[in-house]
Amino acid sequence: MLPESISNKLPESAKVQIIACVSMQETGQRTLFTFPASIQKQAVIVDAKTLTPSTREITLLTIPAVNFDDPDLLNEVRNWIEEASSWTEPASLMLTLQGVQLLWSPSRIALFAEPDRLETVQKSVLEVTYYIAELQCIEQELGELWPQLEGDTPLAFEFTQRDLYKHKQLMSRYQVVATLRARLARITPYLLSPHVYPPTLASQVGERLRERTRVDLREEFLSDQLEVFENVYELCGQRSSDFLHTRSGNILEWTIIILLMVQIVFSAFELLTSFGATNALSVG
């Protein structure tokens, strides 16, 4: 998990923990932090062996030390953090505040702090990390939906018989967008919450981290993008539903027309056969 080149140089009290944010805590898992009620998650320490590919985990390296000053080691730790980072530019962040040093990426974190402050700072960092990771996840999922949106946009204007097969597809896509909006709405109060007063070291680290990751702007952009998706899919839903309503009305109207036509065919045919009979008689 942690390269030996790093672990050998770290003090013995340094710890590496794998943390997952779960809805249901399993027996034996230690809770590090309980999120607010609307999030319904807990940050728990998990065993590396029990991890599944779908688990979004955070690897947290905590080092009880003040103003750690070993540039080589810091570089190595930074490299280790950036290895797993899904960010491109910058791949990691470095934050120094009142003796606390934080090397951060959404999936790997190294935290250097005084032993008595480590726990509170760690909680704050974990909380903010979860929100940022969730924001990033929503951004990513929404980003993948753009080509679909472009394909579906014409349906916001006109829905025809040919598009009928897309009805269910549009419904599920609207659900996906609505789910993303709900996920964003759940974390927004924590992403954009005002600074705590009086400030603490832990709250300041969290706030600084939010500032450095520009969550306020990202949330705003994401919200705007979601609005575009919602507009298009709401219109699509409206058009398809209008079409289906009209169609069922049309079926009824056509059924009546067809039945009237049956009656007309019988009457016309009766007339035709009577002409035939008259002709036959006149020829005879």
Site of interaction with another protein (CB under 8 A): 161-162, 165-166, 169, 247, 250-251, 254-255, 258-259, 262, 265-266, 269-270, 272-273, 275-276, 279-280, 283
CB of 271 to another protein, least distance (A): 9
Residue closer to another protein by CB (options 196, 262) is 262
The least CB distance from residue 147 to another protein, in Å, is 12
* Residue 180: CB minimum distance to another protein, A: 19
* CA dihedral sign of residues 152, 158, 162, 168: positive
Instruction: Select 24 or 258, whichever has its Cβ closest to another protein.
Output: 258
For the CB of residue 237, give the shortest distance to another protein in the complex, in Å. Answer: 17
**Positive or negative: CA dihedral 193, 197, 200, 205:** positive
Cα(86)–Cα(272) distance, rounded to whole angstroms? 80
Report the candidate in 168, 173, 167, 154 with the shortest Cα–Cα distance to residue 230. Answer: 173
- Which C-beta is closer to another protein: that of 69 or that of 150? 150
SS (H, E, C) 117-132: HHHHHHHHHHHHHHHH
Give the chain's count of helices (H) and strands (E). 7, 7
Least Å distance between CB 256 and another protein?
Answer: 11
221 vs 275, which CB is nearer to another protein?
A: 275
In 10 A of CB 236, how many CB atoms? Answer: 26
For the bound state, the minimum distance from the C-beta of residue 275 to another protein, rounded and expressed in Å, comes to: 4
Closest CA to 103 of 189, 2, 30: 2
Smaller CB separation from another protein, 1 or 257: 257
Measured from the CB atom, the residue of 48 and 260 that comes closer to another protein is 260
For 196-265, what is the HEC assignment? CCCCCHHHHHHHHHHHHCCHHHHHHHHHHHHHHHHHHHHHHHHHHHHHHHHHHHHHHHHHHHHHHHHHHH
